[in-house]
Amino acid sequence: MPTPSLTKSLQRLGYALLLPVSLLPLAALLIRLGDLYLPALTLIGQALFGQMPLVYAVAIAFGLSRRGHGSQALAGAVGYLLLSSAISTLLPALHTDMICGLLAGITTAYCWPRIGALPLPRWLQHQPHEAIATLLTPLLCLLLVLPLAGIWPLIEQGSELLLDEVLTNPLGAFAYGMLNRLLIPLGLHQVLGNLIGIGSGDLEELSHALPPYSGFVAGLYPVIMFGLPGAAFAIWLHRLRQGKLRQGGALLALSLTSALLGITEPIEFLFAFTAPRLFLAHALLAGTSFALCNQIGIKLGSYFSAGLLDLLLCAPSGLHAFWIIPIGILFFVAYALVFTLLLGHHTQLSPHTDLGHATAACSPAADPQMLAIQYLKALGGLDNLQAISVCLTRLSLRVTSMSLVDQLQLPKLGCLSWMVLSEQQLVLVLGPNAGPVEAQIRMLAERQSVPLGQPAESGLGS
């Protein structure tokens, strides 16, 4: 079992990886539009794909910073350039760019704040601490050259063996698909995908605008585009049997968010923490989808999250992609039947799930600042809020006292679901309002000089 500090560090890494990952569909869309209308757009998309390791280094160095220092992001970029150039000289035949980006970002996030906090010699005291840290941190990245040159060939061989022998057979695909969904509540699924594909030639494919992970992620499409909407349909039937408001519009919006954009958290978090048997069934069905697609021989990568947008972008370069539709219909029926059976007639889905005001969470807020103020009141005010971070559709929060949080007020503000993880840890699922609300809360905190950190404390970052 990983220690809590390791889990929190990996969670923060997963959040930091969201930014570069979210650029992939934009770059692919630019290339597709460029092929049809304006060739210059193709050059922009290819430039983004070609420099993804550099983007990873900058995003990780910046994302793991608790204060968001721009100079720390610059140090990550320079560290990657130095490390990548040195490794490419020693190991020209191996795929090291992506691991160099990850290591440069993590090293910068760990070392930059510590170097900046060191007392300087008298002859350097006139120099800004940030400038010294930005200069020295990339040099520390060079210390990784020899260890990486020694162990990376073995790691890459192991990664290729994992891809060729494990994930390319139905049993291995089933295990990966199940683990991929089980890690969703921890925010570690992005880390899993990046670690598995890091030693393969995916970066080389990416530089040619081909989607990464084409060998083992096809099974996500039936689950995300069809399965989870089937689960939402079962939840709607369940609430209808209980005599509650039908709320079909809210559930339809959540289903479309999953099917079109591949953002699954609003649906998955309806039952992930409060109905474990539903979440376990979801993971098992996801594993089955991976195994079935593997057995059929479907090769279909994903730029972002395996929604309809991804399918349209990736299908031209895929293999047997047309099978996704009939398999997806099968999984819509399977999810609807399994969830209907498990929910039963008297099962309470979740004490923290109230879709009565969910329609507000399914569309952007008209006044994010006012909504942020209302959420702050429900959370007990800025004095009760210690840390906040956003991950697509949810807010991770750390509060001083959970007793000051007015949980009855949360659904009235459009909160889809929320999970109390501990006496100080809270997760709110807000849909597309999560980003604007987090930004406004940070702005209000800065105006009142209230420091807000990241919820997942660790040794990484500043």
Q: What is the pLDDT of residues 389-399, one digit of tens each?
A: 776 677 888 88
Q: What CATH number does residue 366 fall under? A: 3.30.1360.60
Mean pLDDT of the region 199-203 = 55
Q: Are residues 295 and 187 in the same domain?
A: yes
Q: Are residues 117 and 234 in the same domain?
A: no
- One-letter amino acid for residue 245 of the chain: L
pLDDT tens-digit profile of 59-74? 888 777 655 566 778 8
Q: Looking at mean pLDDT, say which of 63-77, 195-209, 258-272 comes out highest.
A: 258-272
Residue 25 and residue 40: Cα distance in Å, rounded? 17
The single-letter DSSP state of residue 393 is T
In order, the DSSP letters of 417-459 are EEEE-SSSEEEEE-GGGHHHHHHHHHHHHHHTT---B-SS--S
Q: Which residues does 344 contact at the CB level (< 8 Å), separation at least 6?
A: none
Q: Which of 138, 172, 206 delimits the end of a domain? A: 172
pLDDT tens-digit profile of 422-432? 777 788 877 77
- One-letter amino acid for residue 354 of the chain: D
Burial of 150 (0-12, 13-18, 19+ CB in 10 A): exposed
Q: Is the dihedral of CA 104, 456, 195, 60 positive or negative?
A: negative
In a domain, 394, yes or no: yes
Q: Which of 350, 381, 416 delimits the end of a domain? A: 350
In a domain, 459, yes or no: no
Q: Are residues 405 and 283 in the same domain?
A: no
Q: Are residues 183 and 167 in the same domain?
A: no
User: C-alpha distances in angstroms, 75 versus 71, 78, 139, 227?
Assistant: 6, 5, 10, 43
Q: Residue 457: its pLDDT value, please?
A: 41
In a domain, 222, yes or no: yes
Residue 110 and residue 113: Cα distance in Å, rounded? 7
Q: Find tokens 């959420």 and name the residue.
A: 375
pLDDT tens-digit profile of 319-375? 889 999 999 999 999 999 999 998 875 555 544 454 444 444 455 555 778 888 888
The single-letter DSSP state of residue 259 is I
Mean pLDDT of the region 266-272 = 78
Q: Looking at mean pLDDT, say which of 53-62, 68-77, 397-406, 416-425 comes out highest.
A: 397-406
Q: Are residues 28 and 156 in the same domain?
A: yes
Mean pLDDT of the region 130-135 = 78
Residue 86 pLDDT > 80: yes
In a domain, 457, yes or no: no
Burial of 213 (0-12, 13-18, 19+ CB in 10 A): buried
Residue 172 pLDDT > 70: yes
Residue 281, token pair as written in the block: 């069934």
CB 85 within 8 A of CB 149: no
Total domain count, the chain = 3
In a domain, 151, yes or no: yes
pLDDT tens-digit profile of 211-224? 777 667 889 999 99
Q: Which of 296, 328, 350 delimits the end of a domain? A: 350
Residue 244 and residue 250: Cα distance in Å, rounded? 14
Q: Is the dihedral of CA 282, 286, 289, 295 positive or negative?
A: negative
pLDDT tens-digit profile of 113-125? 888 777 767 666 6
Q: Residue 226: its pLDDT value, please?
A: 96
Q: What is the mean pLDDT of the chain?
A: 78
Q: Find tokens 């992506």 and name the residue.
A: 98
Q: φ, ψ for residue 356 (rounded to 5)?
A: -60, -30
Q: Looking at mean pLDDT, say which of 39-48, 58-67, 187-196, 293-302 comes out highest.
A: 293-302
In a domain, 458, yes or no: no
Q: Domain range holding 32?
A: 4-172
Q: Are residues 387 and 406 in the same domain?
A: yes
Single pTM value for the model = 0.72
CB 350 within 8 A of CB 344: no
Q: Are residues 34 and 156 in the same domain?
A: yes
Residue 242 and residue 249: Cα distance in Å, rounded? 17
Q: Are residues 145 and 25 in the same domain?
A: yes
In a domain, 454, yes or no: no
Q: In this predicted model, which residue has the larger pLDDT, 1 or 386?
A: 386
Q: Are residues 73 and 159 in the same domain?
A: yes
Q: Are residues 39 and 135 in the same domain?
A: yes
In a domain, 456, yes or no: no
Q: Are residues 337 and 398 in the same domain?
A: no
Which sequence positions are flagged as catalytic?
391
User: C-alpha distances in angstroms, 302 versus 62, 201, 371?
Assistant: 25, 15, 34
Q: Which of 132-136, 200-204, 338-342 has the lowest mean pLDDT?
A: 200-204
Q: Are residues 155 and 229 in the same domain?
A: no
Q: Residue 228: its pLDDT value, please?
A: 94
Residue 2 pLDDT > 60: no
Which three-class secondary structure state does DSSP give residue 85?
A: helix
E strand or H helix at 386, and its extent?
A: strand 385-391
